[in-house]
Amino acid sequence: MSQAPTGYEPLNTLKPVARDIWLIDGPAVRYYGLPYSTRASVVRLDNGDLWVHSPTQLTDDLRDELKVHGPVRHLIAPNQLHYTHLTEWQVAYPDAVTWAPPGVVERAAQKGLNLNIDHALGAPAETPWDGQIDQMIVEPSKTHREAVFCHRVSDTLIVTDLIQSFETAKVPARMRPYVWITGVDDSDGKMPAHIRWRIKKKDVLVDCIDRMIKWRPRRIILAHGRWYTNNAVFELERAFRRIVSDRRWDEVSKKMDREKERENARDR
């Protein structure tokens, strides 16, 4: 079946990112009638098992490619929107364990899908990838909860919808006004407006952003749009600058106060 181009061809094939990590650019999915490019991430764990984040469309050729690198053992549905192709992967890999943060099953049920999740994702890393992939749950709003991961060996941060960065030339003309208005054009990719406008606990969100920065990733894989091959810390600071600005100013103010106190102490 022919598929509309996304600008990230070839689709449905493994693309090396770094040691033991690949991405898969999948076909577009419809969200409120607009075509969203999709992207999965695949990590090979130390024991050879494959860990698949936000599974995209599964084809026979892709299954053959995956088989070369190891058995698919873990399927990750990172938030309540990214489960479209999960069932077909579960059928293809019945021995794989499926993981998701709270809320995914309920959201799928609202859409008429009975989703089977084996384990809930929590804040600490789960046993199968403990020490290899750091993780945390980020909950910026009542309607969005997302599991974020950082693959240590490759210094790769993997996020889903917390940052979107659509390249204007690669989206249909009718989608471009939406991309510009919601602030997720690649010229300044960031958290989409529908999440930003509903932030409920800003301090908690800033804590999560600071933790991502402290992981010191080298690159960031996004599910939608251009992903960042380098300068990841800069991109994090840029993308979330308006959210963290109050804390950053407080940090600067406290530093200035400490310097002033030291100067006064020397003058005494």
pTM summary value: 0.91
Residue 3 inside a domain? The answer is no
Amino acid at 204: V
Residue 7 inside a domain? The answer is no
Q: What is the mean pLDDT of residues 17-44?
A: 95
For residues 91 and 85, is the Cβ–Cβ distance under 8 A?
Answer: no
The pLDDT > 70 percentage for the chain reads 92
- 3-state secondary structure (DSSP) of residue 227: coil
| Alpha-carbon Rg for the chain in angstroms | 20
Res 261: pLDDT: 66
Residue from 19, 22, 137, 117 nearest 76 by CA: 117
The CA-atom distances, in angstroms, between 99 and each of 83, 88, 133, 149 are 11, 15, 14, 13
The mean-pLDDT minimum among 158-172, 237-251, 252-266 falls in: 252-266
Q: What is the mean pLDDT of residues 124-139?
A: 88
Which residue is listed with tokens 């020397």?
Answer: 266
The alpha carbon of 185 is separated from its chain's Cα centroid by a whole number of angstroms, namely 17
Res 170: pLDDT: 95
Residue 2 inside a domain? The answer is no
Over residues 46-99, the pLDDT tens digits come to 999 999 999 999 999 999 999 999 999 999 999 998 999 999 999 999 999 999
Q: Residue 253 sits in a domain of what CATH number?
A: 3.60.15.10
Res 230: pLDDT: 97
Residue 9 inside a domain? The answer is no
Residue 4 inside a domain? The answer is no
DSSP letter for 125, please: P
Residue 121: both structure tokens together:
């994702």
Q: How many domains does the chain have?
A: 1
| Residue range of the domain that includes 234 | 14-267
Res 182: pLDDT: 92
Residue 6 inside a domain? The answer is no
